[in-house]
Structure 1
Amino acid sequence: MKDILLQDGITIRGVYERSDAKERTKEGMERVKGFIGEPFDPHIDIVENGVKYHIDVAEGQKTGFFLDQKYNRLAIQKLCKDAKVLDCFTYIGTFALNAGIAGAQSVLGVDASQFAVDLANENSKFNGLENTVKFECHDVFDFLPELEAQGELFDMVILDPPAFTKSRASIKNAIKGYREINMRGMKLVKDGGYLATCSCSHFMDYDTFTKTIGQAAKLVHKRLRQVEFRTQAADHPILWNGDENSYYLKFYIFQVVDEK
């Protein structure tokens, strides 16, 4: 493969296969993870939207980085200047760091994986943002009620959870999860502040996800003003003859206002 790409002037370090998703076993396929060909250093550095990242291809989730949110991360930058930001399910700090370079006053990123949090803090230092962008390891569902009890409020709350459902059979439980996390997130937004929320499960379709957010807002007595609706980046195309599988990412930005 290296030789084939080289014919087109593309030089690569090597290939690391990540065919290790649990879903493969349901279809009788082997889970595979490892180098194809000669081993190489799987730690790489990239730049996206002006933010620098250390990436671990071997141990990070999937490819080590989620490229499909590139322009959604860029969209939140314009709302983060001088803001106090909470980024939930931050993974290696992507949304949080975009908020940081946009001039946020303070950013707290939260993830349940200590591995991800350690790498996120490295990335904060890599960008010279360690004084304003910090990361902590918590279960988000447990941590948000703690922040609420402490009276914390944020100018922007970002919710980028993993897919809560990967099958139709579990969609009811997924709806409960998305409703709860959005309720918790909205309650932490200052009156007039912003909520960025998304779902990356294609089983949680547009109508269901939108309805669930509306239910969450009603239950916590918030009014939502839609600022933006976005999907995945163009390099993850939505195929109109296969939208059930290809149209998976739904991304909203709302202004959140208390019911008076």
Structure 2
Amino acid sequence: MENTIVKLKKGEGRLLKSGGMWVFDNEIDRIEGEFEDGDMVAVEDFDGYFLGHGFINTKSRIVVRIMSRKKAAVIDEAFLRMRVKDAWEYRKATVDTSSCRLIFAEADYLPGLVVDKFSDVLVVESTALGIDRMKMQILDIVCEVLGEDGIHVRGIYERSDAKVRMKEGMERTKGFLTEPFDTKVEITENGVKYIVDVEEGQKTGFFLDQKYNRLAIQRLCRDKKVLDCFTHTGSFALNAGIAGAARVLGVDASELGICQARENARLNGLEDRVEFICRDVFELLPELEKKGEKFDVVILDPPAFTKSRSSVKNAVKGYREINLRGMKLVRDGGYLATCSCSHFMDPELFTKTIREAAKNAHKNLRQVEYRTQASDHPILWNADESYYLKFYIFQVCDEK
């Protein structure tokens, strides 16, 4: 039993009561009992009704993150093992587990913790103080659970270097949590080989959430001329190449990303058909349009243009601009794959922005399909923040 009780104000805790997992600072009436930030506490409504067990951090705007709603729950090793086991069994049932997101924070009821599996290497990101204190215990359990299926973990690397840690009063950190190992890890996804740089790559080294969206564009690319914008380490471009595209151009502003993309092209024997250039996409697309270039398939996979509600307006302008430019480069009857990975760019706003871009570009869009993140990044309907990736494929036609 926790000795500390967090009491909510009357009428507060709407998110929590509707199934959410966060308690915000402005919802709390008082905290009863002694505690240190990172400790487990009980959360009660103003009238004493039990709402959940979670860990506390008064330095964060999210003061409590819920671990369980069951009053009898004890957050011990057996509890953590159950959470890890459930997460792994779910992945085995839903995705290719050779490389996958093994734990996805709130969506796996382990708030603030991400664990990605790249072949036999784990990469961990911890963004909340309470879970940070349990991190090593959880990782030991992960290794044991994988070991039960005959999977040996060669090493673990930490990528807790996101700025969000500072909002929790924590320092940003990265480095080995096991004996050092080669941080360039080879994986295979959808038949494409990649070198994942878990030390220097973006986030945890590779964006696993687009796995099946990359697969979805393969059937459109055979014998086609393809443009892949914001290519990062070349993933969409290489899926186009492996599917038999005639020519692929991948573009990214990161020199490191482009170097890795070229290395990945060589790894797959695609360097003769898949070319990568380091350019700002916003500058390049108008240049290509001016030259009269046309592509059979254009792919837009930009970084999140907004990470807060306050900057959504500017993000809308960015999404509208790249989609307008992208559509103008698609030949009549060709295809556009476009996405947003920003949680704050909700599906309705993203759809509206694409519709406006099509109107301004004088193009008709015929929707092929709508997709979200791969199922190893599950969308928890009670945790809205777990739904972030929107992915459309359209046929783009000139006005009839």
State whether TM-score is above 0.5.
yes
3-state SS of 2:151 partner: coil
Of 240, 244, 260 in structure 2, the residue corresponding to residue 119 of structure 1 is 260
Q: Which residue of 2 aligns with 1:170?
A: 311
Q: Which residue of 2 aligns with 1:71?
A: 212
Shift of 1:23: 2.4
Name the CA distance, whole Å, in 2 between partners of 1:7 and 1:196.
39
Q: Which residue of 2 aligns with 1:4?
A: 144
Gap runs ≥5 in structure 2: 1-139
Q: Which residue of 1 aligns with 2:198?
A: 57
Of 342, 350, 355 in structure 2, the residue corresponding to residue 209 of structure 1 is 350
Q: Give the aligned length.
A: 259
Write out per-residue CA displacement over residues 181-216 of structure 1, whole angstroms, 9 at most, x where no aligned residue: 101100100011000000001110000000000000
Name the CA distance, whole Å, in 2 between partners of 1:235 and 1:16.
20
Q: Which residue of 2 aligns with 1:223?
A: 364
Identity of aligned residues (%): 73
Residue pair 1:19, 1:33 contacting (<8 A) in 2 also: yes
Aligned-pair Cα RMSD in Å: 1.2
- Corresponding letter in the other structure for 2:233: I
Of 389, 392, 400 in structure 2, the residue corresponding to residue 249 of structure 1 is 389
Q: Which residue of 1 aligns with 2:301?
A: 160
Residue pair 2:365, 2:396 contacting (<8 A) in 1 also: yes
Instruction: Sort the Cα spacing of 1:125 and 1:210 in 2 relative to 1 into closer, same or farther, 3 A.
Output: same
Runs of 4+ deviating beyond 4 Å: none
Residue pair 2:143, 2:153 contacting (<8 A) in 1 also: no
Structure-2-length-normalised TM-score: 0.63
Q: Which residue of 1 aligns with 2:320?
A: 179
Name the CA distance, whole Å, in 1 between partners of 2:378 and 2:218.
24
Structure possessing the higher relative contact order (Cα contacts under 8 Å, 6 or more residues apart): 1
Instruction: Sort the Cα spacing of 1:6 and 1:158 in 2 relative to 1 into closer, same or farther, 3 A.
Output: closer
Point out the more displaced range, 66-75 or 25-34.
25-34
Of 239, 247, 253 in structure 2, the residue corresponding to residue 106 of structure 1 is 247
Name the CA distance, whole Å, in 1 between partners of 2:191 and 2:208.
14
3-state SS of 1:134 partner: strand
Q: Which residue of 1 aligns with 2:187?
A: 46
Shift of 1:52: 0.6
Shift of 1:44: 0.8
Q: Which residue of 1 aligns with 2:3?
A: none
Q: Which residue of 1 aligns with 2:17?
A: none
Instruction: Sort the Cα spacing of 1:176 and 1:6 in 2 relative to 1 into closer, same or farther, 3 A.
Output: closer
3-state SS of 1:81 partner: coil
Shift of 1:24: 2.2
Residue pair 1:17, 1:32 contacting (<8 A) in 2 also: yes
Shift of 1:6: 6.5
Shift of 1:25: 2.0
Gap runs ≥5 in structure 1: none
Residue pair 1:80, 1:102 contacting (<8 A) in 2 also: yes
